[in-house]
Amino acid sequence: MNMKSWFCVIPLPPCIFSGSFTKMASHIVGYPRMGPKRELKFALESFWDKKSSAEDLQKVAADLRSSIWKQMSDAGIKYIPSNTFSYYDQVLDTTSMLGAVPPRYGWNGGEIGFDTYFSMARGNASVPAMEMTKWFDTNYHFIVPELGPDVNFSYASHKAVDEYKEAKALGVDTVPVLVGPVSYLLLSKPAKGVEKTFSLLSLLPKILPIYKEVISELKAAGASWIQLDEPTLVLDLDSHKLQAFTAAYADLESTLSGLNVLVETYFADLTAEAYSTLISLNGVTAYGFDLVRGTQTIDLVKSNFPKGKYLFAGVVDGRNIWANDLASSLTTLKELEAVVGKDNLVVSTSCSLLHTAVDLVNETKLDDEIKSWLAFAAQKVVEVNALAKALAGQKDEAFFSANAAAQASRKSSPRVTNAAVQKAADALKGSDHRRVTNVSARLDAQQKKLNLPILPTTTIGSFPQTVELRRVRREFKAKKISEDDYIKAIKEEIKKVVDLQEELDIDVLVHGEPERNDMVEYFGEQLSGFAFTVNGWVQSYGSRCVKPPIIYGDVSRPNPMTVFWSSTAQSMTARPMKGMLTGPVTILNWSFVRNDQPRFETCYQIALAIKDEVEDLEKAGINVIQIDEAALREGLPLRKSEHAFYLKWAVHSFRITNCGVQDTTQIHTHMCYSNFNDIIHSIIDMDADVITIENSRSDEKLLSVFREGVKYGAGIGPGVYDIHSPRIPSTEEIADRINKMLAVLETNILWVNPDCGLKTRKYAEVKPALSNMVAAAKLLRTQLASAK
């Protein structure tokens, strides 16, 4: 089908959303896209599987957008965002808007369609996807733009304008949101073949004309406000990068004339230099700040805020699910009102609500007391409006009283604290919890026991989660099948996965994790201090959604969690079977974490629980134990001054988990989809025996750190193919990747493995890909042996 635009507006019945009452100064930075029950996820996957049409997908998307706008309008929100919806990622949407499509996708101009868009995101049968990495320090991922001096930018997606018009036709005047031009370039990377020293900011003169076109069209369509997200302003930026903001907005000033322009920042404080740059930008009417994670910015506002400008005060947390302390927030807002003026203060979320669950109303099984402590996206919209009304002298006393009662309940509840856990965590002080023997001696002892070939092959943990497997878990949870039937079904699945790996001749096996829907949720369900939702889904990337556990209290492990399944799998094979655990830092960073104590204290509690599990696995005869720390890099603070403290307790937490095992027990860890080069020394300090790490999708960026002379003595498995794409790599392609690794890594420490777990793939993709991976490893073994 030849569509003009894959974002085209689906006609909806004309209606006027609540506009008959005065709306207070309230703003939402952005809103979740997937829908309360993941409607977009299922529509995307149906479309990708060719089970539904583009029109079907667009209809689901339009219905979701309509529902979101109506919800915010009915709640009384004055500044409602549009263009925060995305079929995959807002940065990829900006790449589409700018026509910055890498040549390998064969795009020949015109409006970008679904084929090109999803090929960039997911790859296709002939070319790989673009790199995907974490969005700042969140668990959301974005598609990294690939730019260079030869990119021919053009206005190639009218999504921002189309969605503004769509909302307007429904009676909602929205604030269109664009990723700001400077942040877009700072979040990009030089394309393959472009010098790494190439200045991405030199492309500003080439992309600003397109921003001008988009802004002009929005003005012509009737927009009175526009939001430009410039989150990179919270990073440690040098004067050259700060000057780029000044230059860009000076260039845009005449185009922005006649509009109210909000520049939005989030996730951290601004430095004094960045703050000064921001409030001096030409053509800007308003400034948005995260005042939850950026509390020091309040001091900057109090000391110097430009007269007549608007302050969008992000006092409602967009990244966690705890109910706002309304009384405390109102006090902060009144202090700010005294500085900026009554008519210039707007109550806002700290960032997009994309990072939180959708609606607490859908949680019918959540404990009533815990539920009273929470606020999901829909509830945060109400909180924002309640604060705006209170600031305007229309305080809802009943709502504020109920909120105060919930805050008091949480502080005094006995279920939050466990004296024994706190005592054990306190006892950790004074030791760095390192294994006694160095890694080289441990690897020798492990090799004698495991007897692995050079370039040993393994996978990261999970195998495809089939429809049948999901049905079994769902029916067991709903008590429609017995525990015996459930165990039988899971054992059969494990046997199938073990047999397949033996058939493929993989060296170190996994049991495939058929008993787990999610690597964090599974453990949280078996640890004390955690609560779980039914529909608390949060987008991670594309159609991938996770359901973060809620850590509300002190954490401990009442019973073994994985020993039965790992022992069962090991009994099915003579080859080493990995025990599969999620590490404490990843459990922490992929959960909604209690905000009433420092994060490191909660992490130490989780580490002690995982330590108990590691030691039980070892006692059960599991000689290889993988403790995934996929999210360790993700939690790194955005400001360099805070890195050392975070890395110290995060790395320490990992070492706590395995400090008591024997030398012959091999400890693996796994990391994925982040830039690891800047923390490589902390990774070494984790003291794992083997690390498997994402590499293929990021153009083997990881290998550059070894080319620069960093010595790594433990086992390491940089991923040889990207599992987030359906594309099947050839044996030759994988062998070529391994050869690049051998150029910078010793043969005796190199492992061969995919980038990440295989749960999102189909067996039709997994079998040939793993077969080619093993064939490549064997080919290289033969070549290495003949070269001796």
Question: Which residues does the annotation mark as catalytic?
Answer: 724
Residue 433, Cα to own-chain centre: how many angstroms? Answer: 30
Q: How many helical (H) and strand (E) elements, i.e. helices and strands, does the chain have?
A: 27, 22
How far apart (Å, rounded) are the C-alpha atoms in residues 334 and 95? 40
Contact criterion met (CB below 8 Å) for 776 and 740? no
Bridge partners, residue 290, by sequence: 314
How far apart (Å, rounded) are the C-alpha atoms in residues 321 and 356? 6
How far apart (Å, rounded) are the C-alpha atoms in residues 531 and 528? 9
Bridge partners, residue 178, by sequence: 228
How far apart (Å, rounded) are the C-alpha atoms in residues 751 and 456? 5
For the purposes of burial, counting CB atoms within 10 Å of the CB of 701, is it exposed (0-12), middle (13-18) or buried (19 or more)?
A: middle
| 434: phi then psi, degrees, rounded to nearest 5 | -95, 150
The strands making up 690-693's β-sheet, listed across from edge to edge, are 578-582, 624-628, 666-671, 690-693, 715-718
How far apart (Å, rounded) are the C-alpha atoms in residues 159 and 416? 46
Contact criterion met (CB below 8 Å) for 340 and 311? yes
**Beta strand 260-264 with 189-190: parallel, antiparallel or unpaired?**
unpaired
Bridge partners, residue 189, by sequence: 146
Contact criterion met (CB below 8 Å) for 752 and 720? yes
> How many Cβ atoms are within 10 Å of 477's Cβ, its own excluded?
11
What are the residues whose beta carbons fall under 8 Å from the beta carbon of 785, sequence distance 6 or more? none
Residue in the block written with tokens 């070494």: 684
> How many Cβ atoms are within 10 Å of 422's Cβ, its own excluded?
14
Q: Provide the CB-side half-sphere exposure for 707 (13 A, CA).
A: 8
Amino acid type, 11? P
Which of these, 23, 30, 34, lies nearest to 81 by C-alpha position? Answer: 30
**Helix 377-391, helix 326-340: angle, nearest 10:** 50
How far apart (Å, rounded) are the C-alpha atoms in residues 683 and 701? 16
How far apart (Å, rounded) are the C-alpha atoms in residues 513 and 89? 28
How far apart (Å, rounded) are the C-alpha atoms in residues 508 and 573? 10
Query: Which tokens belong to 544?
Result: 């991938």
How far apart (Å, rounded) are the C-alpha atoms in residues 118 and 113? 9
Which of these, 747, 93, 109, lies nearest to 454 by C-alpha position? Answer: 747
Contact criterion met (CB below 8 Å) for 355 and 537? no
How far apart (Å, rounded) are the C-alpha atoms in residues 783 and 788? 9
Bridge partners, residue 287, by sequence: 263, 311
Contact criterion met (CB below 8 Å) for 70 and 13? no
E strand residue ranges, 563-646: 578-582, 592-593, 624-628
How far apart (Å, rounded) are the C-alpha atoms in residues 27 and 78? 6
Query: Which tokens belong to 60?
Result: 């689901």
**Quick one: CA dihedral 421, 422, 427, 432, positive or negative?**
positive
How far apart (Å, rounded) are the C-alpha atoms in residues 330 and 741? 56
The strands making up 550-556's β-sheet, listed across from edge to edge, are 528-531, 550-556, 592-593
For the purposes of burial, counting CB atoms within 10 Å of the CB of 467, is it exposed (0-12), middle (13-18) or buried (19 or more)?
A: exposed
Q: What is the 3-state secondary structure (H, E, C) of 485-523?
A: HHHHHHHHHHHHHHHHHHHHCCCEECCECCCCCCCCHHH
